[in-house]
Structure 1
């Protein structure tokens, strides 16, 4: 028992690890994950729009992208982009590994986000698009103003869950050899563990990850419950009567309640 406690919960090693983890590691983990999430959401929406296209030649490149990046292990994608691109002379971020780390995690996130957005958009009733078009909106305008916002609302819990995965996958960028000031949580803990042959630093890093992911997990669950409650909430008779009365006169584009 003493050896177990010394290996995983050594007080001196924990006190040595936490300052760097909380200042440098936590900051860079959040930076990498946040930028990757932004990249994943933007690219994911664009890919989702391609995936729902009626033209096969438009869908095909997006489908190939999604299948490839969802099929490859994330650690392989990080290695190919972070180590392979600079070795091949493709250096959009120079010699700074942080940029390649964000790109790699963001590209993986985009593949999963694209499927999330696609399912949410296709879950919107076709009448929403038809009603918007009847008001004179073009296809792209109707998708941007009417359909896509409702689709995103449908998949907010799943999208938030993907954000949690992005935070955890940011630990894979240790492969790129981040320099001082750029190290994330796992990199710092792994360095200390290798120097001391003690796993207490890894336990400290795990605690930091839990500080990020556990509150987000509960927030996702609460959001899911609220959205489900909104979908199941019955409409009042007055609101149904008013909608029925207005139907012959105007074409409404209703939104789902939350």
Structure 2
């Protein structure tokens, strides 16, 4: 069951052959974590989606308010079997018609959801090895920062990681600096200096990235900075971790011959969960 433009319908009732998201990647999406019917970090998700739609010149319906977005997500989740939490995805796409040039800039939406077994975030204390993905690069442009359905770099990178036994890969931009991981933003701790690449390096404008930055700026003893990260910097770091809204914080334990601690990542997860409990 899915929510298609405000109605709960079976998956089979949705047509793909005229869907511009399927035909041209003319679509944006937000991946949401839902707890007790509440979309975590709702305001950040909503405003990122609205900004992205404006960048792609999509018409935003007047009815599509932040409250409406949460209500439509909750309506679907409540119709599914109960679970501790849910992973939901809202996709928006232009109305059918046209080829590269749309006939209509008005939009529709679709929401899907699946259960998660843990209500809050936790650290996975297991080996997690990454490698650089060098086949394709992320361009340093505004479109790279959006969650569009054009994810070919991430898809081919995920296949490369799977074929070579890595848990994740780090993506490079066209300056050959590390921009992000396949499924999230990258943070690097060296001494007491915590760094993440700036949005101008082509990384996703991540929702969990924003939460972690807010925590870092108030964390005693940590100096935070948005700064480009070179592959050479990775070898000198004490900790690496990857962030996204579903997993929260995923520590990296190994990159090539370098092994990393997970102390800061563990402390950040505790503060992140405290924020969620406070609502």
- Tell me the TM-score range normalised by the shorter chain: under 0.3
Q: Which has the higher contact order (CA 8 A, sep 6+)?
A: 1
Name the larger-Rg structure: 1
Alignment TM-score, normalising by the size of structure 2? 0.24
